Chain A
Amino acid sequence: MSLLHATWLPAIRNPTSSGRPALLVWADTWRVASPAGPGATPALHPFTLSSTELRAWLAAMDLLPDGIFDATACLTLPSRSLGLRSSQKKIKPQSEETDEITPVWTGLPLQAGEPIPKEPEWWPWQVEGLAIEPASATSWLSKLPLSGNNPDLADELRWWSHLQRWALSIIARGRWLPHVELSRGEGYPHRARWVPLLNRENDRRRLEDFATRLPLVATCALPWREPAGIRSNRTTRLRPEAMRAANPVASCRPRSGRLRVANLLEELVDAQLRKGFESNVEGLDPLLQVWQEALGSDTGVISLDTEEVERLAAASNHWKEGVAGSVAPARACLELFTPQEGEDLWELRFSLQAEADPTLKVSSSIAWATGSKILQLGEVRVDHPGEVLLEGLGRALTVFPTLERGLETATPESMYLTPAEAFVLVRTAAAQLRDVGVGVELPASLSGGLASRLGLAIQAELPEASRGFTLGENLDWKWELMIGGVTLQLKELERLAGKRSPLVLHQGVWIELRPNDLKNAERFCSSNPVMSLDDALRLTATEGDTLMKLPVHRFDSGPRLQVVLEQYHQQKAPDALASPPGFVGQLRPYQERGLGWLAFLHRFDQGACLADDMGLGKTIQLLAFLQHLKVENELKRPVLLIAPTSVLTNWKREANAFTPELRVYEHYGPRRLSTSNALKKALLNEDMVLTSYGLMQRDIDLLDMIDWQGVIIDEAQAIKNPSSKQSQAVRDVARSGKNNRFRIALTGTPVENRVSELWALMDFLNPKVLGQEDFFRQRYQIPVERYGDISSLKDLKIRVSPFILRRLKTDKAIISDLPEKVELSEWVDLSNEQQSLYRSTVEDTLDAIACSPRGQRHGKILGLLTRLKQICNHPALALKEKDIDKEFVLRSAKLQRLEEILDEVIEAGDRALLFTQFAEWGHLMKSYFQKKWNFEVPFLYGSTAKNKRQAMIDRFQEDPRGPQIFILSLKAGGVGLNLTRASHVFHVDRWWNPAVENQATDRAYRIGQENRVMVHKFITSGSVEEKIDRMIREKSRLADEIIGSGEDWLAGLGVNQLRELVALEDS
């Protein structure tokens, strides 16, 4: 797969672009390449798409920009050193010139996501791509997604789209000025520019953010210059000196990004304003007339005498300087200190503060002492610190004239403010000063924000008798008023308010009282408030939550309440609950914690979503939970479990194996009960009822009549679409009925990251948490999905996180609990078509075998077994169909399940190996999956050519964006290959000999490997596959024979034995 990149090209001069900058769009892809090195000029980047390929690809993605032209640039990229392969000695054609240059270094450029070699080097590479004119580039960037993982777009495109969003915000807020930029030297014109004003505190912060997070590939280009000779006569070869002179082998050094980013932002803002600006006002004087025209022109060139341009430039500079200084690494900062004890004057100290990190400050004395040298502020270098400081103080004077008094000496370090002056600074001037780019640091108790407002300090604990199980119950609690970090009584507050001074000293801390503070406090005190457990959960979830308009500054919970809160907020792992009596098997430690968590939320009557990674055993945790209820005598009515048809068999099997005491009733198949009386009767002694989503929806009226104790949904993503009937039916059944029904959802997908799917899930689990759907969409879904709004997402996560437990197999705490290979049996059923085909095949063939001579029996039996295994895979395989029809996936239950699991694997970004013994099946799966997922799925089998084989393997192992699914035939792929990048192995069909399967598994698994490998073995329930599996497991005599002597024993089977082996059993 290719990956799209975008790199800014500084002004380039060639026939199509008159020295203007552009955005270079280029793409790289994985392919086999020989190491290369620079000759007279940088080497060609071996992985990039040609501009023709790139155009086609962009057009296919509907991302082809306007205003593009072919371009080449020289990009500095981290590279891997590699020796030159012998066959590649001559990369250049023979030349008579004696001074042909042989590369001094050879290697390959690294690609995004590729592992970094121990000693990377930086080399320039010649990269071909498409350049977009700035104005078109801005509209193109606006079209890019602002969030989400788009596999075709490199990370820096998101950085660009965010930068463009900032540019739009600057334009929307009008934070720009027209400017005159004097020529930077010979050949550069004077230009009219639109410059963003970065004086506001948030814009300055943002500049630092963008600069520190700049992916350097966005700015690593030197433009590629076409030497003049090349166009005049294409056959003329340029002498290396000419090429070298035009494009020296030079690298772009990574530098602090602040200025670069400010320049890029300016380019984006300039391009958009320039494009939209209409320069049509009449009656301007000649100077302004020229300026106006230049501001609206493509090039911005100002044609005036130098004298006049300089005058214009000086005027525009002075104009701007009043509000915004230049982009400097540091700024002036005023620090306010509270008066010494017994004094009433406030000290204001002058200092120099790093933009990148406001905690880095030095006193002004050091800035003065540095003179014209360089000052080092942590890692930040500041040139002329004294001037930076003075310039900032000059601007500060315009908004806070009081400062004048403090600057009457040569090297002022601080001054004193009267209480009134200090109050002006705190209340109004601080914000204005920050707006003109001067830092202001106030004492913590006055530094604004919620912390310095009047609020509450609360102490609460569960009442003695309470077990902390019901949300409505009232807590024992005490509260105090709190402001600026100190507590105070209402009386004290009244006394302080009586002083009529906005800044007052209380218990050694200076605090600012606001007009409504006293009123709010009095209202609170007189209301005789109570606090419920529900309040406590809410107030401890987010900072700054309020109780009756008063922010809660401190919440101290007693030890017993603390335990409840911590578990609820998942600040610590839930208390483990040992596997209940009657549970057959051993829960792993993390599974015991999962069980404890389910029981914890159940006590609160809160719905729970167990979203553990695939393979961690959600099924058995749930079964253990039900067994726990049963043992505790809390399981009094049946529980409804809804799952996709493809996993119902699996549920039944697992329940039988792990919780044999649980009585499981199946409500599916054509013979299911259809009247409520019959069903109620049938369920009298049942614990769990299995049904499918489809039947749930069809039989909703019937199922709704049953008094369920709880509703459990497996593969909960099935209800993600809230308007689907299926989803509606499930949510209805969860909450109707006279008794409360507990709700549990199981899913292996990262639900908390799929915002659009969260609402239906939470509506099923705990409807109050996210409110109505419309509200949810406006408040969370649109901000997060469309704009990637991190604060909405955070808030959303805080709301839902108590109800979702997701653990990954890569978590440290989990990995130690897991064996290196986790074997999972995937039980599947047969589709109707498979069933009838299977039955008829068995019947027809057994008869034929019975009457055939002994000599032919062996072959016939083998043929039968093979055909049955093929039917278990897919009817199309047995019927030798070559094409994928519309209903393809529906015709095989196994394929359905396989596809569901692979969906999760892909979603998680994992890689999987699929082993099959049938090459034809490999082909069918390959074409089916490729069509479905629209990416390449390699298939390695017996007749794959040797060099192709190696390429497939290399790509799977090395390509950072290589295929996630790799199909191999058991015979060709089972030995010798190293495919350790896979963390899942699927045995789609079974082989008699487990050793062969294990060998194949070991392609992905190596001793000492850090990844855990999940091995999925598909078993078609009731079929010959189950028999094989059972034989292998039980290590029966028969199995030994099979393993020992191949398939010869088959010939010895009597027809009855054979029938027993192959006949389809009702599962």
Chain B
Amino acid sequence: MTSNAQPTNSSITTALGQEGLGQQPWWVEQWMELINSYRFKKRLERAWTYAREGNVTSIRFEGRRVHARVQGTGEDPYKVKLWLDVLTDEDWVYVLEALTQKARWSAQLLAGIMPADIERAFAASGKRLFPFKLQEVRSECSCPDKANPCKHISAIYYLMGDRFSEDPFVLFQLRGRTRIKLLADLADQRREVLASLINEDECNQNVDNNQDNAPAQPHPAVVNPSLWWQYDSSLSSDLVVITPALDGDTGLDSVGELPLAEEPKFPESRRLFLDHLRQQGQALAQEAMMQAMSTGG
């Protein structure tokens, strides 16, 4: 490990490589700020070392809780549990109602982005999505240390940030709503909102009409069985010459970073993996073009 990874209060970063905070999604950033607000810096530094050196052997989301194992000084790893206060069903009714007020919130969540002003939806219920203070993050550790958070728990804190960047819905899960349930509830809610906005009859009529027009159309091949065999199209013009990608135009280029939290013990892992994919992708593209050129001769 290089020395410049040594954390100080101001230089602790979440991605345990060289990336700075700026490249993190804001909600991860916010989480890290929460951690860094902890007063006992020494403990944080040790936690950071734990996280970085791979003492955390597993992190699992089970229902509304996070279960983790951290290899401490003892022989067996310590078991860490971590959870947030779950919102009640009544709270969720408020939250959902508020979330529905802006289509953007759903849109962003569906595209894998945590809306920056998501807390405003939670404010309706008087609750928050993100814990405001460190104390709101409940935790237990099987280590003998009486302090909470202990260094094991703190190590989990650090790694959790990356997990949030994998999937923004993890936070909702910790607050009591899985992704599927949340999206379904939102769709229902939207319909309700709409119904209250416009004349209810009109709305139903609109939809029902659409339903009425929906007799399962027979497939064209049922009407014309020769479609079973018939294909008389020519090769589309832009498949005639198979061309390589323009610079920076491959799928790998456009998706960006793989949102998978990095194992601290393998700090180069993600980069190695993506570099390898890129390099293999180029070789395979070459091969495909060669094959395309020798086709049909």
Q: Could you list which residues of chain A lie within 8 angstroms of chain B, going by C-beta atoms?
A: 77-78, 110, 112-113, 116, 120, 122, 139, 142-147, 154-156, 158-159, 161-162, 165-166, 168-169, 171-178, 197, 202, 206, 209, 213-217, 220, 253-256, 272-273, 276-278, 281, 283-288, 291-292, 307, 311-312, 314-316, 318-323, 365-366, 368-376, 379, 381, 384, 386-387, 390-391, 393-395, 397-398, 404, 407-412, 435, 783, 786-793
Contacts and interface: CB of A to CB of B under 8 A. Distances in A.
Interface in B219-268: 219, 221-222, 224-245, 249-256, 258-260, 262-263, 265-266, 268
B217 A369 contact: no
B42 interface: no
Contacts of A398: 111, 113
- Interface class of chain A by DSSP: helix
B272 interface: yes
Contacts of B297: 786
B208 to A, nearest CB: 9
Contacts of A307: 60
Contacts of B235: 146-147, 162, 165, 787-790
Nearest to A159: B231
B1 interface: no
B111 A391 contact: yes
B167 A315 contact: yes
A206 B236 contact: yes
A557 B265 CA distance: 77
Ranked nearest first, the 5 interchain pairs of A and B with the lowest CB-CB distance are A174-B250, A394-B111, A371-B191, A407-B104, A394-B107
A323 B273 CA distance: 20
A376 B60 contact: no
A412 B103 contact: yes
16 contacts: A78-B228, A110-B225, A120-B225, A145-B296, A165-B235, A169-B242, A169-B288, A172-B285, A173-B243, A174-B244, A217-B228, A283-B269, A315-B259, A365-B198, A368-B190, A409-B102
B112 A318 contact: yes
Given A146-B296, A371-B191, A283 B276 contact: no
Contacts of B222: 122, 254
Contacts of B188: 371-372
Contacts of B228: 77-78, 110, 112, 215-217, 220
A836 to B, nearest CB: 48
B106 interface: yes
A217 B183 CA distance: 38
Contacts of B2: none
Contact of A173 (B260, B285, B295): B285
A322 B256 contact: yes
A6 B195 CA distance: 51
Contact of A407 (B103, B191, B224, B251): B103
A316 B253 CA distance: 15
A112 B228 CA distance: 8
Nearest to A314: B167
Given A319-B258, A323-B254, A398-B113, 20 more contacts: A116-B226, A154-B229, A172-B242, A215-B227, A277-B284, A284-B272, A366-B206, A368-B191, A369-B191, A369-B207, A398-B111, A408-B104, A410-B101, A410-B193, A411-B190, A788-B235, A789-B235, A790-B235, A790-B237, A792-B237
B219 A256 contact: yes
B86 interface: no
B230 A321 contact: no
A281 B239 contact: no
B190 A281 contact: no
Contacts of B287: 171, 276
B183 A379 contact: no
Contacts of B214: 374, 376, 381
Nearest to B212: A376
Contacts, number: 317
Interface residues of B, number: 97
A171 B284 contact: yes
B210 interface: yes
Contacts of B229: 112-113, 154-156, 215, 217
B193 A173 contact: no
B103 A409 contact: yes
B270 interface: yes
Contacts of A161: 295-296
Contacts of B281: 174, 176
B291 A390 contact: no
Contacts of B123: none
Nearest to A396: B107
Given A173-B250, A792-B240, A410 B194 contact: yes
Contact of B210 (A112, A206, A370, A387): A370
A155 B60 contact: no
Given A165-B239, A398-B113, A197 B251 contact: yes
A274 B284 CA distance: 10
B184 A407 contact: no
B193 A143 contact: no
Which of A368, A408, A435, A790 is packed against the most chain B CB atoms within 10 Å? A368
A320 B260 CA distance: 12
A277 B280 contact: yes
A988 to B, nearest CB: 35
A175 to B, nearest CB: 5
B203 interface: yes
Nearest to B256: A322
Contacts of B227: 215-216
A323 B237 contact: no
Contacts of B272: 281, 283-284
Contacts of A790: 234-237
Contacts of A789: 234-235, 237, 240
B187 A411 contact: no
A321 B285 CA distance: 23
Contact of B194 (A202, A217, A411): A411
A479 B243 CA distance: 40
B239 A142 contact: no
B110 A394 contact: yes
Contacts of A146: 235, 295-296
B211 interface: yes
Contact of B263 (A139, A174, A287): A287
A320 B106 CA distance: 18
B255 A177 contact: yes
Nearest to A350: B103
A404 to B, nearest CB: 6
A168 B286 CA distance: 10
Nearest to A76: B228
B295 A786 contact: yes
A217 to B, nearest CB: 5
B262 to A, nearest CB: 7
Given A155-B232, A173-B244, A311-B166, A292 B273 contact: yes
Contacts of B109: 394
Contact of A393 (B103, B250, B262): B103
B204 to A, nearest CB: 8
B105 to A, nearest CB: 8
